[in-house]
Amino acid sequence: MKPGLLVISHGSREAGWVALVDEAVEAARVLLGDELHIEAAFLELVEGRLIQDGIDRLEAAGITHVLALPLFISSGSTHVDEIGWALGAYPEPKLETDLEKLQISTGLSLSYGKPMDDDSELVSIVLDRLREMSHDPSQESILLVGHGSQEAGFQEAWEQGLAAIAKRLTELGGYHTCSTALLLPNQVPERLKQLRINNTHNDILILPLFLSEGYFTKEAVPRRLEKSMPSQAYRYEGRALMPHPEVSSWIVRRAREWAENLQK
């Protein structure tokens, strides 16, 4: 038995995103040493490094058992669903997809992991980002803004994950209140307004739950905030979750847990 890990993330034409993923995976590779072979692959747009390319490289390296780990924020992502179907993790995707079934040899045993959701490493990253903005947590209200989805089942998964993160922030960070909002559907104006009404004297800190900085953190979220309330009424810095060493720690923990179960 020769185990391997395939870290799968969203594709992008931006070299910066590919570099972020590669840095996180390389740090995980260093931490794991010779424990298992690691490849990073992308859903789309990164030529020569798509999911099938990653599978082919693992097979060429003689890997017999693979954990495909989706580097995504939420189980509510439709991409997580379609990737799982393409890998054969379940018989049908919940939504139509342009992906095709991936070619996996009968000699390769593949397991599909889960995204970060409310895992402790993600909560730790969020706490670090908030500390960079915070002055007095007991007098601050937090609004977490995620991408979300308007699809039935997917929206609920997003909301459940964000609610669990919010609960941990109040427990571990000492923040007075923590609320959540999705861009899809657009919950930002209502949730921000309600947060202000219910916490009149608190400072409001807005944190975007996105792995990398880009269109959503620099344009989409700020625009919706500004339409809801004057910018001086809240604090928003737009920092994304990566780069952060806890992303590599998450990859390593998930890989080791899976590898340990293989031995049982």
pLDDT confidence of residue 20: 97
Phi-psi region of 148 (alpha: psi -120 to 50; beta: other; left: phi over 0): left
Closest CA to 82 of 106, 62, 61, 99: 99
pLDDT of res. 84 = 97
Q: Residue 74 has what pLDDT?
A: 98
Give the phi and the psi of residue 59 in degrees, each rounded to 5: -65, -40
Q: Are 135 and 203 in contact (CB under 8 A)?
A: yes
Do domains 3-73+78-114+244-263 and 120-236 share one topology? The answer is yes
Residue-wise pLDDT tens for the chain (264 aa)? 899 999 999 999 899 999 999 999 999 999 999 899 999 999 999 999 999 999 999 999 999 999 999 999 999 999 999 999 999 999 999 999 999 999 998 889 999 999 999 999 999 999 999 999 999 999 999 999 999 999 999 999 999 999 999 999 999 999 999 999 999 999 999 999 999 999 999 999 999 999 999 999 999 999 999 988 998 899 999 999 999 999 999 999 999 999 999 987
How is the chain split into domains, by residue range?
A: 3-73+78-114+244-263, 120-236
Please tell me the distance from the alpha carbon of residue 259 to that of residue 45, in angstroms, as a whole number: 30
Architecture of domain 3-73+78-114+244-263: 3-Layer(aba) Sandwich (3.40)
Residue 263 confidence (pLDDT): 84
Q: 120-236 belongs to which CATH class? A: alpha beta
For the chain, the first-to-last Cα distance in angstroms comes to 13
